[in-house]
A and B are shown apart, each in its own frame.
Chain A
Amino acid sequence: MSTQPPQQEHEESPADTVDESESTPPAQQRREGAKTDKRSRDAQRQAEADAAAKGDDPTRHIKVFRYDPEIEGKQEPRFDDFHVPFEKGMTVLDALIYARDQYDPSLTFRHSCRQAVCGSDAFFVNGDQRLGCKTQLSELDDPVRIEPLPHQEVVKDLVVDMDHFYEEMEAVDPYFDPDETPEGELEEQRQSRANREKVKMSTRCIWCGACFSSCNIAAGDNQYLGPAALNKAYRFAMDEREGEGRKTERLETIEQEHGVWRCQTQFSCTNVCPKDIPLTEHIQELKREAVKKNLKFW
């Protein structure tokens, strides 16, 4: 543990922090954040230099969103500051775990695999949706602001309610449902390498919800299926093993009022996807397929 004094600044008056997080409009907040960023970056550099001179580990400053609906003092959202000793390779998740285990065990966030496959720890980090475990602190400017995913209800601290996201995922019949299944128990369905390659990226989704949170359309239209669910629909619609009949039905599902046509190709989902899935392209391709299908029936 670091021996440097202000490890945690709980005493920071609630009024100040509320002001920072709540009543300032986001754009202004970001500008001010940038200013503060600059100041504290300088301070941080100084501190790191001092620490290096003394032979100590440098520390990093994280500002973490806090909220608990039933704990006095946390009912009004606020930011808590933690200073964590930095080690090479340290991720945002590592910093959160350190802050929780060493300073404040009530600090709450989902996490499990630590290797970007369980999709539990998508947060809003310095203004972007990112997986905590996959984001190196060394890429970020101090103080590192860690907030829950925007556009989802906050349950507590960094934990958001994922139910709406799951409902959208399950609204697209997210399961393989071929026109025909081989008769023999040991008989495979053949799939060309090219077709497997075509669906490959779409199968990498880890349901982290980063894309959904980044999407302006999903934020404004509560019924919009959203990028992750449309990608799931793509995964099956483009799989040659399912057959044409099922594909037509799938295209009807994604063509509905709150489906593909809502997408305005802003690419925010693609930009934040931690698995590099070309979500916007997949949605565009579904649009093209839907048009082709409709032409066929004219």
Chain B
Amino acid sequence: MYEHDVIVVGAGGAGLRAAIAAEEAGADVAIVSKLHPVRSHTGAAEGGINAALRDADSWEDHAYDTMKGSDYLGDAPAIETLCKNSPYEVIQLEHWGMAFSREEDGRVSQRPFGGLSFPRTTYAGAETGHQLLHTLYEQLVKRGIQVYDEWYVMNLAVTDEERPEDRHCHGVVAYDVQTSEVAGFKARDGVILATGGPGQAFDHTTNAVSCTGDGQAMAYRAGVPLEDMEFIQFHPTTLPSTGVLISEGVRGEGGILYNNDGERFMYERGYANNDGELASRDVVSRAELTEVNEGRGIEDEYVHLDMRHLGEERIMDRLENILHLAEDFEGADGIEEPMPVKPGQHYAMGGIETDENGETCVGGLYAAGECACASVHGSNRLGGNALPELIVLGKRAGYHAAGKEMEPAEIETGQRGEYETATIDSPVELGEGGVSGDAVADGGAVAAGGPADPDTLLEQTVEAERRRVDELQSGEDGIHHSEVRSKVQQTMTAHVNVFREEEGLKQALRDIREARDEYENVQVMDPSKTFNTDLLQTIETQNLLDLAEAITVGALARKEFRGAHWRAEAQERKDDEWLKHTLLSWNDGSPELWYRPVILEGENKTYEPKVRSY
């Protein structure tokens, strides 16, 4: 068994920042990640990092824009924490040598981004995430922080008290991809999940194939609620054939969207009369799909993003990476022709319920970054707000887990304080749904009556995961996970996309149920004990099943139109009924839905919900 004070799972921006913070606070910290850190998907982020750095700007304005962008579903304490700390964290990155784009006077450049009242998006060309990820990894190397890379965390070692709020996480169990060893990692002080989003639940996504929401699924099954999972951001500018992202920076610099009739539809069709192309992402995605659905798309599939008028010099200076992406992945030359774009799954606003210090309701268990939901983004994330979340909340989780003294959080977690329970209107049984309920194959928590002693708990969890590996590899005539995975991805893209209808959502739940039942007979075809990616992906597919279901349940429950979540049956925001977060608890395999009110009371003011127009 391996042992450290703090174990960080995942090595993207949030995981690296958390590890650095924990080390600064004096902890013996290690990272366990299925990828080498520089392979993490943070590296694909393009646009930038929002931070109120200039005198004419303020964190209050950043907070207001973020709350408005969230369509009043973000929690004020989380948003204000983000906006106050972002300038310090951005300059910290600068002090660590990050290669930001620069102004004439040598200061870091900022540009306009969608939904912002001030051009406060700091950036490094159109490869900000790559620069951020490598800068953080350099600091990790400098500090000599241990990384167990290509170790896949399969489960958390969490005690099994009846109420999740009484449980405690003592470590993780991981699978060494190189050798198939299954080992326990005991965390004396805390486990921080920083495993990214569940983008692979969809088949047209900007997310890497590694973005399978592993941390979310593990936390969920260990009893931590998933919050606001229905809110999925569909980025308006992804390449049609691959889903590769074309940064919002293109529109920030002045790029224009055209339909097949050559109309600048954001204005000409009245989708956003003030901000046009720079309206919030959900607004632009719906506009594009409406154009396509009404017959004004190009090849009935996409619209055009034109940046030719910016000129080669400006494009090369600020958006060079976009030229390469459009050329390599769509065969379009952005200097000579408009680029084809359509909406694609990009980001999950929801995730593991945490407070503004990254703590979940399970003792010793933290989450930060896209996998977490504090909630900073509410029902719609603004462009340029994901990267600051990684560094601000990653750092706080790292400090808190390492025992550094911090202000107590204002946000409640778990079924404490004010909340209401609800019922789920599902056409099929959810969760384990009465099928075998085999805790081993499902990667569920250790069976009831488990020990409280951390070492024994870890050993038992390791044993359970070893059995799971053996079982997955021992079946005969089973189904291959890729069939199950693609069934889930297809139904999610067909029914839980930008536009959502009750019957479609129910169909998605039926399809997911069917996929779950098929997964009961899943079989790893590769018998090897060396670098068995077949096994890895089979386990990831289980995680995607749980998360796809959670996303769909949330979408079915929320009968209103807020932010990224559009419902055919209820085309307006209903503040009287729905100023509340959707929470879904695993409840030992029978998912339970409940709600908690949004916190709109900030430090100095209350954010009054207003009509959100751009």
Report A104-144 CB contacts with B as 1/0, cut-off 8 Å: 11101111111111111000000000000010000000000
CA–CA, A187 to B102, complex, Å? 15
Please judge, given known A-B contacts A69-B530, A105-B482, A200-B99, whether A115 and B39 are in contact too, CB under 8 Å: no
Q: Between A and B, how many residue pairs show CB distances below 8 Å?
A: 157
- Of the candidates A89, A119, A176, A205, which one forms a contact with B135 in the assembled complex, judged by CB atoms under 8 Å apart? A176
Nearest B residue to A189 via CB reads: B94
CA–CA, A191 to B520, complex, Å? 57
Interface status of B88 (Cβ within 8 A of chain A) = yes
- Between B94, B97, B105, B106, the greatest number of chain A beta carbons within 10 A of the residue's beta carbon is seen for B97
Interface status of A42 (Cβ within 8 A of chain B) = no
Find out whether the CB atom of A203 lies under 8 angstroms from the CB atom of B134. Answer: yes
Interface status of B534 (Cβ within 8 A of chain A) = yes
Find out whether the CB atom of B39 lies under 8 angstroms from the CB atom of A119. Answer: yes
Find out whether the CB atom of A187 lies under 8 angstroms from the CB atom of B41. Answer: no
Nearest A residue to B483 via CB reads: A101
Kindly list chain B residues whose C-beta atoms are within 8 Å of the C-beta of A190. 105-107
Interface status of A156 (Cβ within 8 A of chain B) = yes
Interface status of A297 (Cβ within 8 A of chain B) = no
**How near does chain A come to B584, taking the closest CB pair, in angstroms?**
28
Find out whether the CB atom of A186 lies under 8 angstroms from the CB atom of B91. Answer: yes
Interface status of A188 (Cβ within 8 A of chain B) = yes
Nearest B residue to A166 via CB reads: B36
Kindly list chain A residues whose C-beta atoms are within 8 Å of the C-beta of B88. 185-186
Please judge, given known A-B contacts A155-B530, A190-B106, whether A115 and B329 are in contact too, CB under 8 Å: yes
Interface status of A162 (Cβ within 8 A of chain B) = yes
Interface status of B416 (Cβ within 8 A of chain A) = no
Nearest B residue to A186 via CB reads: B91
Interface status of A210 (Cβ within 8 A of chain B) = no
Those of A182-234 within 8 Å (CB) of chain B: 182, 185-193, 196, 199-200, 203-207
Interface status of A150 (Cβ within 8 A of chain B) = no
**How near does chain B come to A277, taking the closest CB pair, in angstroms?**
13
Classify the interface of chain A: helix, strand, loop or mixed.
Answer: loop
Interface status of B210 (Cβ within 8 A of chain A) = yes
Report B506-546 CB contacts with A as 1/0, cut-off 8 Å: 00000000000000000011111111111000000000000
Kindly list chain A residues whose C-beta atoms are within 8 Å of the C-beta of B245. 115
CA–CA, A104 to B241, complex, Å? 25
- In the complex, how many residues of chain A place their beta carbon closer than 8 angstroms to a beta carbon of chain B? 60
Find out whether the CB atom of B209 lies under 8 angstroms from the CB atom of A112. Answer: yes
Kindly list chain A residues whose C-beta atoms are within 8 Å of the C-beta of B208. 112-114, 118
Find out whether the CB atom of A112 lies under 8 angstroms from the CB atom of B39. Answer: yes
- Of the candidates A108, A134, A188, which one forms a contact with B108 in the assembled complex, judged by CB atoms under 8 Å apart? A188
Find out whether the CB atom of A71 lies under 8 angstroms from the CB atom of B130. Answer: no
CA–CA, A196 to B534, complex, Å? 43
Kindly list chain A residues whose C-beta atoms are within 8 Å of the C-beta of B249. none
Kindly list chain A residues whose C-beta atoms are within 8 Å of the C-beta of B108. 188
**How near does chain A come to B178, taking the closest CB pair, in angstroms?**
7
Interface status of A181 (Cβ within 8 A of chain B) = yes
**How near does chain A come to B179, taking the closest CB pair, in angstroms?**
10
**How near does chain A come to B143, taking the closest CB pair, in angstroms?**
9
Find out whether the CB atom of A115 lies under 8 angstroms from the CB atom of B244. Answer: yes
CA–CA, A101 to B487, complex, Å? 13
Nearest A residue to B139 via CB reads: A175
Interface status of A174 (Cβ within 8 A of chain B) = yes
Interface status of B242 (Cβ within 8 A of chain A) = yes
Interface status of A80 (Cβ within 8 A of chain B) = no
Kindly list chain A residues whose C-beta atoms are within 8 Å of the C-beta of B107. 188, 190
- Of the candidates B91, B125, B131, B525, which one forms a contact with A185 in the assembled complex, judged by CB atoms under 8 Å apart? B91
Interface status of B573 (Cβ within 8 A of chain A) = no
Find out whether the CB atom of B91 lies under 8 angstroms from the CB atom of A170. Answer: no
Please judge, given known A-B contacts A68-B530, A156-B531, whether A115 and B44 are in contact too, CB under 8 Å: yes
Please judge, given known A-B contacts A89-B241, A114-B242, whether A188 and B139 are in contact too, CB under 8 Å: no
Find out whether the CB atom of A105 lies under 8 angstroms from the CB atom of B525. Answer: yes
Find out whether the CB atom of B38 lies under 8 angstroms from the CB atom of A206. Answer: yes
Those of B113-138 within 8 Å (CB) of chain A: 124-125, 127, 130-131, 134-135, 138
Kindly list chain A residues whose C-beta atoms are within 8 Å of the C-beta of B35. 112, 118, 120
Find out whether the CB atom of A175 lies under 8 angstroms from the CB atom of B534. Answer: no
Kindly list chain B residues whose C-beta atoms are within 8 Å of the C-beta of A191. 100, 102, 106
Find out whether the CB atom of B328 lies under 8 angstroms from the CB atom of A116. Answer: yes
- Of the candidates B38, B102, B142, B534, which one forms a contact with A106 in the assembled complex, judged by CB atoms under 8 Å apart? B534
Kindly list chain B residues whose C-beta atoms are within 8 Å of the C-beta of A16. none
Nearest A residue to B241 via CB reads: A89
Those of A42-82 within 8 Å (CB) of chain B: 68-71
**How near does chain B come to A85, taking the closest CB pair, in angstroms?**
15
**How near does chain B come to A87, taking the closest CB pair, in angstroms?**
9
25 contacts between A and B (CB under 8 A): A68-B528, A70-B529, A89-B329, A104-B525, A105-B524, A106-B527, A114-B209, A114-B243, A115-B325, A118-B41, A120-B35, A120-B39, A134-B328, A159-B531, A173-B142, A175-B141, A177-B142, A185-B88, A188-B94, A188-B107, A200-B99, A200-B125, A203-B99, A204-B127, A205-B134
Given A106-B528, A193-B102; 11 other pairs, CB 8 A cutoff: A68-B530, A69-B530, A71-B528, A105-B525, A105-B534, A155-B530, A185-B88, A188-B94, A190-B105, A206-B130, A242-B97
